[in-house]
Amino acid sequence: MRGRLTQAGLRATRQRLVILESLLVLPGHPTAEQVHRRVAAQSPTISLGTVYKALDSFVAAGLTRRVASAEGSSRRYDADCSEHHHLFCTATQEIIDYCDPQLDQLIREFFAERGLQNFQPHSFSLHITGVKNQG
């Protein structure tokens, strides 16, 4: 954990270590509030503001990503920074990771063919909204 922080150019403070560890063990794509609840069980003096600041520094350093969720809801975070997409279920508010190399290749080919005026894409992540089938 300490190594991940220092490799990203961040000081490995006790607070950052506890926040990063919590982010990594919480299932799915937790909110800052969910991370804070887990952190507070171990370190009750860490404020929600500190958790937000740490998560923002993790995003800036490339240790985690912010994930779009429902309009007006809390920010969600994804500790998996590999290229993948997100399926957002409007019924359950669940965010599901989705990997499809064939889709990725189609997108790369599309932009290689068409290009984007004055823009060179390096990576991409789709956010697909729908309803998860039950069953």
CATH number at residue 93: 3.30.1490.190
pLDDT in tens, 49-83: 999 999 999 999 999 998 877 655 668 899 888 88
Is 89 marked as binding a ligand? yes
Domain containing 71 equals 1-80
Both 125 and 95 in a single domain?
yes
Both 117 and 66 in a single domain?
no
Both 11 and 37 in a single domain?
yes
Both 13 and 55 in a single domain?
yes
Q: How many residues does the chain have?
A: 135
3-state helix, strand, coil in the chain (%, to 5): 40, 15, 40
Q: Residue 102: what pLDDT?
A: 94
Q: Residue 52: what pLDDT?
A: 95
**CA–CA distance, 134 with 49 (Å, rounded to integer):** 37
